[in-house]
Structure 1
Amino acid sequence: MLIDCICTSCNNNSTFLPFIKPFIKSWTKLFPNIILKIIFINDKIPPYLSKFSKYLILFKPPNKMHTSFISQHIRLLYPALLKGNILITDIDLFPLNRQYFINNIKKYDNNMFICFNQICGQKHDELPMAYNIANAKTWSEIFNIQSLNDIYNYLHFHYNKIQYNLNNGNGWNSDQKNLFTYITKWDKKNKRFLCLNDNNTHFCRLDRNYFNPTDFNHDFQKKIKFGLYTDYHALRPYQDHKHITDTIIHLTNPSIHIQKINSNKILLQQNEIFLFSYYGCGASWADVTTITNKLIPHKSIHVHNKTFNCDPVFGKSKNLIIITTSFKSYSAKEHETLLILSSYE
């Protein structure tokens, strides 16, 4: 499976509207040959967005239905009316590592439904909206969508079941809950659902909740340029952090290929060292490059909190990610041991 189309959505909310331009720029930079579609929830496309019209699909909201609800759920529905393999995401999520979105799914058949990230929710009854990929036929099969009329029927049915509130209120995560419910029911019959493991995919997010803009120095920018991070959950509002977000997009380099090696052994060539080493999970990571480079002569790295002087992170299993100066990426799970071998000895 490979990505044919990127699909997201946006309403006229002033928080998200400014992300349309950088969203388009970031995805088309790393994936110049794919189709990109933004479902725009509004009665019309305003003149200032007309220059992006080839990327926008206008979806007129039903009366008395909150456009935020539509914008959240439409990503589950509209892919059924598109073509090829469609990846859904958020308007304020930007890719930073092209290979992450290619290598982790290319071996699977086009009839699969693949969720890039692990099950979430307090009761583990949700699937994150970013990132999920399936063929248009599979999206149609899961949500029973063959037409625009089917989309409107779905929206009315589920909107009337809840009292929708903004700001993480009632119904705010109903899109993720519905995705989990529909996928679970569909997979019982079809057995074509796959949820990737963050440790195996080397998922490493640059997240606004853990990113301090004052740390945005040369070394930090170098990590972005060389593909340490998989994606960027953008600082908000966009205008207040425009320089940082635009610089991050500028630093992404589609030509750099990081070779990912899932192995418990690191084979170092002569003069090869660790360029970056990070320990953590999801969006919470600690830079442990200095520590891991000191351990090279010891021929092994025991992946543990004590090794890296790190506190446990909300009880979730962590991962060590290493990128060497030869642009090879290694990973090991917590409590595993990475052996370090030298090819020149």
Structure 2
Amino acid sequence: MNTFSRRRFLIATVGTGLITPEIAARAADTASVKIVNPLVRQRADAQIFRHDDGWYYMMASVPEYDRLVIRRSRTLAGLRDAQEVLVWRRPESGKLAGYIWAPELHWFDGRWHIYFAAGDGDDKFHIRTYVLSNSAKNPLSGQWAFLGALETPWDSFNLDATSFVHKGVRYLCWAQHEPGIDTNSNIYLAPLAGPTTFAAKPVRLSIPTLPWEIIGYKVNEGPALLARHGRLFLTYSASATDANYCLGMLTANEHADIMEPSSWAKSPAPVFRSSPEHNIWGPGHNGFAVDEKGRDMLVYHARDYRDIKGDPLFDPNRHTRIQVIRYSADGVPDFGVPAAIGPLADT
């Protein structure tokens, strides 16, 4: 249905009582709104999802690395101008007073949970994963309680926790430095017993070994899961957070034992990388969302320029972007190339 037909349908049905004038006006207005990239400027490591309350929620790292904020909207496009609500700020000193990175919002066990990484005031790179919890139906309200640190196998650098349910079991997937392995971070998986504890010993799914995974740093981080067409597609980010940052992917059959590392096959080349043609650089730390039409969407951050002055960590211009995912004939996601700046063509 095109925009004109949609408006005519809305006007015709207002009088039936099925749609109020207010709903009709709101639907007509949002029907013509296109997603514009960047969707949200200066927001990295973004997570966007549509909860079963009908709202789209977004969390991301802010350039100051000092707080946790949530925004929500009835539409994906609306996240661009949605009010951002502060839900937690790091203390002035001591534990958790360092860099605050990569938050994710999840609903389970009748509560909201935020997983986020934090350093300490006297050692900002002493990065560990922590969890907050809130029983309010609206996570922008209510009180957030501090549950503590994620109880990982080693007291070492870890971050980028994400959670998903597979065959009725809730899992946590994250990145961590494992003592004795000469990498910055690898990808790990475990079923959850509680928000901060595991029901089984975690397993290592991926180590950065391929040439495109070890440029600048030996990194596998930022895992995200897409379950489609009888398979699980686990994307992750690799290499330094400059123009070399890119996405890799692990694939498993949905009936396989996903706690068995051999069930996962690694793609030999990046599945998403910088686009010189569109001048979009370092796409990574992705997530997945579903748009109002039911299409799968790739969420990621990237910069609008290749060359960075100073440390990439302190360059604020990693912007949240979004685009439609296509699929090959055999059901494998084809992410294409980063979309150009401006209105997304197929929205």
Q: Which has the higher contact order (CA 8 A, sep 6+)?
A: 1
Give me the TM-score of the superposition, normalised by structure 2.
0.29
TM-score, structure 1 as length reference: 0.29
Counting helix residues as a fraction of each chain, which structure ranks higher?
A: 1
